[in-house]
Structure 1
């Protein structure tokens, strides 16, 4: 259901740190938004260092963009962003002031996974129970 894209200049993240970060993003999202781990998608984008800027200058930010379904309580969305930022800094070994987390939400009905329109937050159990239906 959610899609997280982690962007960092090539060489910033090792294979191990990417795997650890993907696992931690999944764990945090599952704990806060109560979806099965298999539905959390994490993708890494690593442009060349001369293609990454912060404040108009060459930089080394770690940027996490996430798409989540609209309707989760704002307090949980804020907690999600804060926990992701802290985990990313710890795992990547960068200062937290070099981490940016942006969560964008959209209506569940605007996304399809496995050929089915996503459920509204809170309706996951019913949606999962109908998994075999077409």
Structure 2
């Protein structure tokens, strides 16, 4: 369910770097939330340089706008924002001053994936087990993915 929309000027982020970003954003999301990897979607949207402005002036920047389910703690969200920002700047060489990373949260019942209505994130461990996405639910509440 989480979908990360990366709005970029093509020349600033080469395709090989995009693949690294997608893999690492998935790593970050899964390590902090316990989500199975196949639920994380990362999309890159090209932005023509002549269509990019900050403060009314032409600018070079990137936006990572993620839609996640509500229920993640403030600490988890802050850690994801920080790790994605660090990752992005280290792989692309862009300044953090030219990057916006943000989350929009939606209720689980407003999303369906694999033909299943999703729970709010606080009930992931139960939902993942009931639907066969994890084998067991450890004490941490994060499951071991089956797929």
TM, length-normalised to structure 1:
0.92
Q: Deviations over 1:14-47 (max 9, x none)?
A: 1111000001100110111110111100000012
Separation in 2 of the partners of 1:66 and 1:60? 20
Say what the alpha-carbon RMSD is for the aligned residues.
Answer: 1.3
User: Which residue of structure 2 aligns with residue 116 of structure 1?
Assistant: 116
Offset at residue 122 of structure 1 (A): 3.3
Separation in 2 of the partners of 1:129 and 1:74? 25
Separation in 1 of the partners of 2:52 and 2:9? 6
Offset at residue 56 of structure 1 (A): 1.3
Separation in 1 of the partners of 2:39 and 2:60? 29
User: Which residue of structure 2 aligns with residue 25 of structure 1?
Assistant: 25
Shift >2 Å, 4+ stretches: 122-132
Separation in 1 of the partners of 2:120 and 2:106? 10
Offset at residue 10 of structure 1 (A): 2.2
Equivalent residues in 2 for 1:45-64, closer than 5 Å: 45-64=45-64
Q: How many residues align?
A: 132
Aligned-partner SS, 1:44:
strand
TM, length-normalised to structure 2:
0.84
Equivalent residues in 2 for 1:81-120, closer than 5 Å: 81-120=81-120
Q: Does 1:125 align with 2:131?
A: no
Separation in 1 of the partners of 2:100 and 2:67? 14
Offset at residue 79 of structure 1 (A): 1.2
